[in-house]
Amino acid sequence: MINLAARDILHGWGKFVFTGVGLGLLIGVTLSMAGIYRGLVDDGQALLAIGGADLWVVQRDTLGPYAEPSSVRDDAYRALLAVPGVAEAGNVTYLTMQIQHDAGEVRVMLVGIEPGHPGEPGYLVAGRPITRSHYEAIADVRSGLRLGERIRIRRHEYTVVGLTRRMVSSGGDPMIFVPLKDAQEVQFLKDNDALVNERARTAANPEFNRPGVPGLLEAVQASQSNSHSVNVVLLRLAPSADEMKVADQIRRWKHLEAYTRSDMNEILVAKLIDTSARQIFMFLVILSIVSAAIVAFIIYTMTLNKVREIAVLKLIGARNSTIAGMILQQALGLGAIGFIVGRTAATMWAPIFPKYVLLLPGDAVRGALLVLAICALASVVAIRAALRVDPAAAIGG
């Protein structure tokens, strides 16, 4: 039995392969879109995975450090450590800011951590952890910073001592980890001009600058310039502790809000990146429809180009199933080539994207099945047209 599809493809294999590659690039774009969506979700989850926290304790009635601003006193951790079930606590601050680097600016998320406590990056790809309590930084490789480089953040210079990977904010900005006290200074202390202005303003206020009360002005000014706040306290629980119970305890008695990992996941994925995720999903749907339409067109034109040959086949007595099989096989072959090319292309260009593109094998399998289903469906139109061909067309026309 001669395989008609293979023979036909070999007859004009160049055209067939090129059509497949073209289709593949389109599928690659579709897969990348899916990858961008997965990457968005994964960025959110990477953010939660950093530091290995079980509970996020934030200011009451706020949605935590990622979705809303939150401010907690930095000595709250002592009270939290006393809650039964809490094993470790770490103060963390987050601040999205621009830093100067290589004559340009990089948008980064500055994270203040206490080395050795929850909140510090889980692994490094180069360098060492922070060992000094000031002026050292660990940067995500995406920030473009290199080991040993000195960067200026507000009024101090920091040395990059370690590099890490996939430590990004929910918006995909690379993180820079610095010691907590430095980060507090960056976030809550004003710049020098503002400090001087503020001092002058306080000195001009007769309430604070009273004659006959030496030291009052200095005391007021000192109280204005220190900061003891953090954005979140990350808690790690004892293995036996029930996170819901501990969270309830904290809400009830410490007057702070506590979120478990699933709560935070909900906030990050369902609330924060929901709109962009839906946007990308719309693109995905449109691209799928366009791909299906293009496959259908290609198969249809390929079939129409062969009207005469099909008529001849019919004339020599080929069965309808043989002709339908030939078209279906060609369509599926086109789909297979397209998928492989698309998947490879997506893998190749994924690292160039400014945002993280996560290509899941599960998505690839689903994509492959979808592509083959679309191809099969698209071939139906062509098969119908082929079956309607009048055998007389082989002689006439």
Partner 1 sequence: MNLRPGRKAALGAVGIGVALLLAWLVTSQGPLASTKVTVAKVERGTLTASTFGIGTVEARRAYALGPTVASRVLRVLVDQGDAVKAGQLLAELDPVDLTDRVTSAQLAAERATSAIRAAQAQLDEARSRSRTARVSAERSVELRAKGFISQEAVEAKAYEATASDAAADAAAAQLAVAVRDRERALSDVSGAGKLRAQARLVSPVDGIVTSRLVESGTTVVAGQAVLQVIDPASLWIRARIDQGHAGGVRVGQPVEIALRSDQKRTYRGQVQRVDWVSDAVTEERIVNVGFAARPEAASVGELVEVTIGIDQLVNARSVPTAAVKRINRQDGVWRVRQERAMFQPVKVGITTLDGRSQILDGLEDGDEVAVHSDRALQPDATVKVVSALVGSAP
Only one of the segments 163-171, 197-205, 322-330, 384-392 lies at the binding site for partner 1 (rule: CB under 8 A); that segment is 163-171
User: CA 120, 126, 130, 131 torsion: positive or negative?
Assistant: positive
CB of 83 to partner 1, least distance (A): 17
**Is residue 332 near partner 1 by the rule CB under 8 A?**
no
Sequence-separated (6 or more) residues with CB below 8 Å from residue 377: 292, 296
108 versus 139: smaller Cβ distance to partner 1: 139
Q: Environment class of residue 90 by beta-carbon count within 10 Å: exposed (0-12), middle (13-18) or buried (19+)?
A: buried
Report the alpha-carbon angle 169-171-176, nearest 5.
35
Strand positions, DSSP E, 114-168: 126-127, 136-140, 150-153, 156-164
Specify whether the CB–CB gap between 39 and 168 falls below 8 A. Answer: no
Specify whether the CB–CB gap between 88 and 117 falls below 8 A. Answer: yes
CB of 153 to partner 1, least distance (A): 15
CB of 105 to partner 1, least distance (A): 20
Only one of the segments 116-124, 283-291, 297-305, 326-334 lies at the binding site for partner 1 (rule: CB under 8 A); that segment is 116-124
246 versus 394: smaller Cβ distance to partner 1: 246
102 versus 274: smaller Cβ distance to partner 1: 102
**Is residue 141 near partner 1 by the rule CB under 8 A?**
yes
**Is residue 3 near partner 1 by the rule CB under 8 A?**
yes
**Is residue 132 near partner 1 by the rule CB under 8 A?**
yes
Q: Residue type at 173?
A: D
Helix ranges (DSSP H) in the chain: 4-11, 13-49, 64-67, 76-81, 180-188, 192-204, 216-225, 243-253, 261-265, 274-305, 307-315, 320-349, 361-387
Only one of the segments 187-195, 257-265, 288-296, 338-346 lies at the binding site for partner 1 (rule: CB under 8 A); that segment is 338-346
12 versus 286: smaller Cβ distance to partner 1: 12
Separation of alpha carbons 256 and 61, rounded Å: 8
**Is residue 152 near partner 1 by the rule CB under 8 A?**
no
CB of 248 to partner 1, least distance (A): 23
Number of neighbours of residue 86 by Cβ within 10 angstroms: 23
One-character DSSP codes across 257-294: EEEEHHHHHIIIIIIISHHHHHHHHHHHHHHHHHHHHH
**Is residue 123 near partner 1 by the rule CB under 8 A?**
yes
* Residue pointed to by tokens 């690039």: 25
Residue from 22, 129, 171, 325 that binds partner 1 (CB under 8 A)?
Answer: 129
CB of 73 to partner 1, least distance (A): 10
CB of 127 to partner 1, least distance (A): 7
Residue from 72, 83, 99, 163 that binds partner 1 (CB under 8 A)?
Answer: 163
Separation of alpha carbons 139 and 162, rounded Å: 6
Binding site for partner 1 (CB under 8 A): 2-3, 6-7, 10, 49, 75, 87-88, 116, 122-129, 131-135, 141, 146-149, 161-163, 165-166, 181, 211-212, 214, 228, 236, 239, 340, 343-344, 347, 359-361
